[in-house]
Amino acid sequence: MRKIIFLITLLLLASVMMTARDYVLASPDGKNVVTVSSGEKAGLSICVDGVEQLSFSGLAMKVGGTRWGLDGKIQSVKRESVDEEVDFVVPRRFSRMRNTYNSLRLRFRGYDFELRSYNDGIAYRFVGKKDAVAEIDESASVVFPSDYECYASLTDNYQNWFEKPYTIAPVSELDSSMVSMCPLMVNTENCHLLFADANLYDYGGFFMRPSRRGFTMEWPKYPATYEMVDWNNKRYAVERYDYIVKCNTERAFPWRVVGIFPKGNDAAMLTSELIWLLSEPAEGDWSWVRPGKTLWDWWMDYNIYGVDFKAGINTETYLYMIDHAADHGYEYLLIDEGWSEHDSATRLNPEVDMPAVCTYAAEKGVGILLWVKWVNLDKEMENVFRMVSAWGVKGLKIDFMDRNDAEMVNWFETVAKMAADYRMLIEFHGSYPNEGMRRKYPNLMTREGVYGAENDKWHRENTPEHHLHIPFIREWVGP
């Protein structure tokens, strides 16, 4: 009997040891060290050069009626080191880059917790193993050892233009009734930390709500009902379900990423491709993708003079602009609002002969890009792509989405896929920041959701200081 009790005790101790344990993962250069704690004190902490940076707690996903977290029983542990070169399908500053990281994968019953440590950051995600559909929710909190200065783009609404300027203040002084869009930057004792998503598909993007010396991560729930706002330009959610998304759980969920950049080497923030590297790669032929400079009619307000026609939204003005673009080395002319009716992308403005404009542009070696409201494109997407492709249009600038819930994220991918089928480029305006989709779909050029030149027309918040923040914070995730 005593022997049986002794064996049971040993088994229970072994179970506790397997359930409650610390796992350490260092970056390839050894500077970034992540500790994953399981069991009752489950969480994740990060140190850089021996200095504590932050800790995560409450990392969990609610999957139907079950909970995934770090406090469950670990069934196995897998470690891996990767050092490889990867190609940019569409070269930018360079055509290749190194992908180097160490990884840790903890297997629980029904799911894995995966962690990667790079020289310029860390990322974690949950990976489901069961082929079943469930409603998903998620939680996580971040706490810093001191009240650090941060750069937060604050809003009181999940639905917005994603253009707010940065509030620079200690974390404790931020308004907790607001949430910050990501990327968000926190300056610790020896590092700049940046927070963002990567490989975001069929899921909502997260916001960060100030909470004393840290943040609580929040996700917009899936829309249930809607209303049209802003002169029928936008469709906003009025009511939402109590879950982020309802999906098959046999999948990898998005990465939660912390970029880590030592103070004194700010240039590293400008060359980091961490979000891109963490995202799904492209497949197929993308040799037709041609980035380039764009002449923009709306910004200049069609303000041309010394001509023998009335400047405006008409064929003559666009032919003139095509000549200007060709003469000055612009690869594209963007034709903004006005070429079609306000509430339709297929009912055209009779003052603009779009087929003739596109034919003339092709003769001059200039590509035509067209602005369109997302709600109009959503009504008849296939018809719009078929029509403008027949004209020879090279891409669309799509506007007024203003959301990053799972429904809108899925819509972005639907557009990217169809545009690729028609070999067309896409620029998203009124858009949430990049989250890696541009790697899988290299025809996605930019996410235009910052204070830019257009804002100079109606306010003075578009300052030089704001422009200097953008490359180091917003642009870290991509253009």
Residues labelled catalytic: 399, 454
Cα 166 to Cα 151: distance, rounded to the nearest angstrom? 5
Whole-Å CA distances, 402 to 154, 355, 371, 428, 433: 15, 31, 16, 10, 11
Cα 466 to Cα 479: distance, rounded to the nearest angstrom? 16
Cα 425 to Cα 442: distance, rounded to the nearest angstrom? 9
Whole-Å CA distances, 44 to 34, 38, 54, 377: 7, 9, 9, 43
Bridge-partner residues for 187, per DSSP? Answer: 149, 192
Cα 289 to Cα 90: distance, rounded to the nearest angstrom? 7
Q: Give the H or E element holding residue 355.
A: helix 354-364
Count the helix, strand and coil residues of the chain and give each as a percent rounded to the nearest 5: 25, 40, 40
Bond into 183 cis (ω within 30):
yes
Residue 406, both tokens: 């799972």
